Amino acid sequence: MAYNDISLRKCIETNDLLSCYENYQHANARWSRYWWEGVLAIYESSEQWQKKYKLDSLLGELSLIETTFVSNVRKVEYRRFRDGREAVPMEFMEDCGENITGKEIVYFFKFYSYDELLFNKIGTTTRNVISRLKEEIGYYSNEFELTRVEIHRIIDCGDYPAEGAESVLRAELIKQYPKAFRKNDRFFEVDISPNVFDNILNDYFN
């Protein structure tokens, strides 16, 4: 039986750990194990939930980790919509770099729907990075329910062509995550560390 009228299958399909855990908490003896197995399946398959919560399998408890990725947000700007849809936060993460205009820029973003990481995105621009990101949010919001974007890197390529840096990043990331790559330099079903991005660029620049 479901306390909040959502099935276990739906919880797993949508990565909805909290609804699944809520049903577990309110389940009777017959259904308790059923929902707990769902909690375990969702939690163990999601790095994002593991960053935000800790799971005690012995006690059957889920508790919030006080220090989460949210604390690493340096500042936030918003992509607003004229049709009244909720604005999408664009979060500048620690060490992401500054919003640069008129340079050869390569960037690294992560797009989320609530606590689910949808995809990682690399790209280049010579314009204002926030303007570029606003365009991408407008485009991808037609396909996904975007609720926030993390800005992890904004790198000035200096005398190096940004297209060269992007090509190297694409090739190396495809080599490391061959099944994750999709068109428009997006990587799905993997949470790519900014350190991986940094290491590839360091080799390119040096």
- Convert the pLDDT of each residue in 98-130 to its tens digit: 888 888 999 999 999 988 999 999 999 988 899
Structure tokens at 4: 């909040």
Task: State yes or no: pLDDT of 177 exceeds 60.
Answer: yes
Predicted structure pTM score:
0.66
Q: Which stretches of the chain are assigned E, i.e. beta strand?
A: 53-56, 61-64, 73-79, 88-93, 105-113, 116-125, 148-156, 181-182, 186-188
Using the structure block, give the residue that is written with the tokens 């204002």: 128
Task: Please report, rounded to a whole number, the percentage of residues in the chain having pLDDT higher than 70.
Answer: 90
Residues linked to residue 107 through DSSP beta bridges, in sequence order: 123, 154
